Structures are given as C-alpha cells and as structure tokens.
Homo-oligomer: A and B are copies of this chain.
Amino acid sequence: MPIYEAPIRDFKFALNEFLNIGQYQGKLAGYEDLTLVDPILDESARFCQEILFPINQSGDEEGLKYDNGKVILPKGFKEAYQSYCEMGWGSLTFSQEYGGQGLPNVLNMPVTEMICSSNLSFGLLPGLTHGAISALNEYASEELKQKFMPKMVSGQWSGVMCLTEPQAGTDLGLMTTRAEPQADGSYLITGNKIFISYGEHDASENIIHLILARLPDAPEGIKGISLFVLPRNKVNDDGSVGENNGVSCGSIEHKMGIHASPTCVMNYDKAEGWLVGEPHKGMRAMFVLMNEARILVGLQGLGIAEVAYQNALAYAKERPQGRSLRGAKFPQKKADPITVHPDVRRMLLTQRSFTEGARILSIWAALNMDIRHHHPDKEVKDNADDWIQLMTPIIKAYMTDGGSEVANLGMQIHGGYGFIKEYGMEQYVRDVRITQIYEGTNGIQALDLVGRKLSAHMGRYLRAFTHPCNDFIEENRDNEAMADLTKQLYAGLKSLQQASLWIGQKGMSNPDEAAGASVDYLRLFSIVVIGYIWARSAKIALDALAAGSDEKVFYETKIATAKFFLNKVLPEHYSLLAKITAGVKYLDIPDVDD
C-alpha cells in the first residue's frame, strides 16, 4: 500500500549542483567516467523500487524463522540478495583487485539511501558486509584479504560485526570473549555475543565474523581488546566452504521493528580465527567498520524519512478534510485536501527540509571519503578527514533522530490511518527507532562530538565547518535575495560558537559539564550545518532561476524549503544555547543519588 519513488532529481541536485562532482573528473580515482552516474542511479532505483520495496511490508509481517540454530529470512529476501549481488550493487566502491568496480563513494551513497528507503531490514545485510570489507581492506594481512575479500565483495559471503556482550554494550572494555593463540598463528575464540545483526541467515553460503576478543595477556578494559576475523564455516584450501567453525546462533530477538533483520545471540566455541591489525589494538581497526556503520545508520534514518515523507505527501494531497480557513480552495468538492491546513504544511516542510538537507550532508560525506582516500594533495586530504571526523557523530545522531521525527510526522499526517499496519507508516516508525540506539546510542555520538571531536587539535575539526560557513555568510552579506537566510544562519552560527566556547571552557574543569550539554550541543551543531546547506542550496536555486532555468517550480520549492528551515527550524538554537549554558548543576536527582 505505501509508495516509493527514488528521488533521482534531488540526488542530481546534490551531486551536480551542490557538490559539482564534475570538478573532480580525472583528478580523483573513481571519478574518471561520470557518464556512469545517471544510468547507475536509474538502474539501482529500479532495483530498489521493484525488488526490495515490494517485500518490505511482507517481510515485516512474516518475520524470521529460527529453527535449531538456522535462521530463515522472509519470503523473497534470499532471492533479492542474489539479485543484489548479481547486479553488482555490493561491489561498487571496492578495488578491482578484489573484484570490485572501483567507483566512488559519492555514487554509492544514493544507492544506499534508496536501499534504506525500500527495505531497511534487507539493507543491513549488504551494509554490514560493506563495512566488514572496509575494515579487512585497511587492517588485514594480504593473505587474509585474499582469503576473504573477493567472495565478500561479490556477496557470496556476507560480513558481520560482533562487539556487544550482555554486560558490555557502550562499555566494550567489559567484554570477556577470549582468544587463545595457536602454534600456526591462528587463534581459538570462545565467548558469547549479543545483538549481532545478520549473525546468522540463509542468504549467503558463508558468514565472515569480525569479532572483538581478549588475548591471554591482554590488559584490562578497552586497551586489551583485539580484532579477529573468523568464518562461520571453515574455508577449504580450494576456497570452498567446509565444516562449521564452532560458530552457532543460540537464538534471535523479538523486536519492535526491523522484523526481517535477524538480531542474533552468537556463541563461539573455539572458533578458528586470525588477528586483524595489532594485538590489543582492536578498537582502532573496529573503528573503520564502526565509523562506516555509523554513517550507514545515519542513511537509514534518512532513507526512512524519505519514504515516510513521500507517503505523507501523497496522502495529504488526496485526503479531503475540512476547509482552508481563508475560504474553500475547492468549493466544488465537499472538502479541501489537507494540504491547505498550515499545520499540515508545517509538518510536510519539516519532513522535506530534513530529508533534502540530510541528503546533501550524506553525499557530501561520501565526497569527502573519496577525497580522503584518493586526493593527491595532503592538505585537501586532511581537511576532508577533519570534516568526516566532525560530521560522523552528527550524521549518525541527527539523521536518525530526524528519521524518527519525520516518520512520526508521517504517521501524524495520516491521522488514525497512520496507526493501521496496512498503510505502512507504523512500520517506518518501528523500523527507524532502532537507528537512534544501535551503533552507539545517540547520546554516545554526542559524547564523541564534545569529547573527541570538539577538543581535538585545538578545535581544528570544528573549523572545518565554521570557517566555510562564516565565509559563505560574508560573501552573501549584501545579497538582498539571501538576507532572510543569511541573517538567521549568522544567528545560529553565533549560538554554536558561544556554545562551543562554553563547553570548551567549562568542560576543562568539569568534564560532566561537557557531557551534560552534549545532546543539546549535537542538535545545535546539526541544525546549523543543515541551515548552512539550505542557505547554499537557496543560492544555487536563485542563480538557476536568474539564469532562466525551465525548472522554475523545482528551484522555487528549494528556496521556500530553505526559508522554512532557516526561519522555522533553525531558531531552536536560541533555546539550545540557553539549555546548554544552564549547566550540569541542574542535573542533580537527590533521591536517585541517595
């Protein structure tokens, strides 16, 4: 019953108009042939709309079957995964050396968004595989890479990340899974992990586990954790799949949402594995996977927001109810469509300004990943890395909070129908909710932002955003058509700078001050970033209109949405600054501390 149409025009706005990726053609690996962009977008859109989207509701309803260690995905999932692999959607960005297509992240990001919109439960499978390959690619020995990567790149084997234990979630230092070194250089890994997405399933012939465990001589805590790779089934010398490697799925969780994505309790009983990276430095290697996964999870928020918005808009345009307060808009009909009601428009614009703004943020992140990996100029590379370091917690937390907000608004716009399964909105609300929790709760992302990113290198990461934002405001100061936007953006940026200074100063003497302000600070930072993106988008749209574009309505809508965001969302910064600077002294709870 719900609908989904890939937002191709908006992807192109982000790629060609906002980021102007054409400027990198021939200058950045992967950007050699940009004529591929349009057909790849179109083809992947078709795959998502025609293969993944139709099994989204049925997958939710049918759910998973657990049978004595086996996990059976809902009808159509295995076949969809096979098509996914055959069409090469999983191998876009990987090196041709391991069977990949050597294409840029900037192209993979829209594909990922479309997958998340169409079928979030499905998307976790290739998404986690992608991250596992990236971690192996960066930290594994060539031998391990040759052993695992080609079949993971092709999708024949899937990948999975294994961190959490019952007593060790956010605090991974508490984990107890252990690894015993063997004479041949391998390790036998024993322990239990929980909340392992796609830890077991029936869509790929083998599953490659990237798992955190402790060596016998490991120091306590987070500094005694090493990363290992182990296959569920042993790999024979000829590369074929052998017997089980002591890896079993003990049970699967019953969850609020993502019913088609298995969340597994995994048991490891002397499973043979190999060290990835250095001993006791597993977190460093795992962070490659985790950072990628955090951006993926942000995309999940965006993907659900997009499909929720599309359905809310379609419903609102067709649902007649009440009359415009300024007189009937359609007097010949019994009622006006609910789009005439200002509060419905406020909800639609809240959704839209989030999705289109977050979309640009995500594709911008992909561009900076490409630059960080491949740009010849070290300064440009480093600057791109700074930007990604800063934006990763923002993308994860803001885009998933936004995903939940937008899905809930979609339900609200549907009225009572939103609560009924058939209409699909309630699945979006349930599915997207986990994105605010997994891959580090959004509170943890906020701590990362204030604790690691804000303070790093004397605020250098911060400047990767504030300097260009400030320059943009300066450049457009005298542009009257932009005045409405730059004025608001300036006020937002000022609040952000005051908050940053306050946290920097207060946090020095009392780290709880920074921690207590962190979630409000992340939100403040995020809306200023999106405000900047919208102001720049509006500038592009104004220029296009001035140049006589024949897409008048498209660009006028960009400008209207920008004005909405800067005037009706961004003003939140006033309150966020007030809450932040109120300080941690208001967080006492005598009867809890008693």
Contact = CB atoms under 8 A, between A and B. Distances in A.
Contacts of A589: 339, 345, 348-349, 352, 557, 560-561
A317 B584 CA distance: 19
A585 to B, nearest CB: 8
A256 interface: yes
A326 B510 contact: yes
Contacts of A512: 324-326, 342
A310 B174 CA distance: 26
6 contacts: A171-B322, A342-B587, A343-B515, A343-B516, A557-B591, A567-B586
A321 to B, nearest CB: 4
A13 interface: no
Copies of this chain in the oligomer: 2
Contacts of A563: 586
Contact of A586 (B335, B339, B516, B564): B564
A412 interface: yes
Contacts of A436: 412
Interface stretch (A97-105, A111-119, A419-427): A419-427
A352 B590 CA distance: 13
Most buried by B among A313, A415, A556: A415
Contact of A568 (B341, B429, B557, B586): B586
A571 B575 contact: yes
Contacts of A415: 169-170, 437, 441
A430 interface: yes
A201 interface: no
B416 A437 contact: yes
Contacts of A471: none
B412 A447 contact: no
A531 interface: no
B560 A348 contact: no
Most buried by B among A194, A257, A446, A568: A568
Interface string A342-371: 111111110010000000000000000000
A573 interface: yes
A518 B254 contact: no
A437 B421 contact: no
A253 interface: yes
A357 B518 CA distance: 25
Nearest to A565: B586
Contacts of A591: 553-554, 556-557
A582 B334 CA distance: 32
A418 B553 CA distance: 44
A335 to B, nearest CB: 6
Instruction: List the 9 shortest-distance A-B pairs measured between CB atoms, nearest first.
Output: A342-B516, A256-B426, A571-B578, A325-B511, A575-B575, A574-B574, A556-B590, A557-B591, A567-B582
A420 B254 contact: yes
A255 interface: yes
Contacts of A324: 512
A16 to B, nearest CB: 19
A553 B590 contact: yes
Interface string A233-259: 000000000000000000001111100
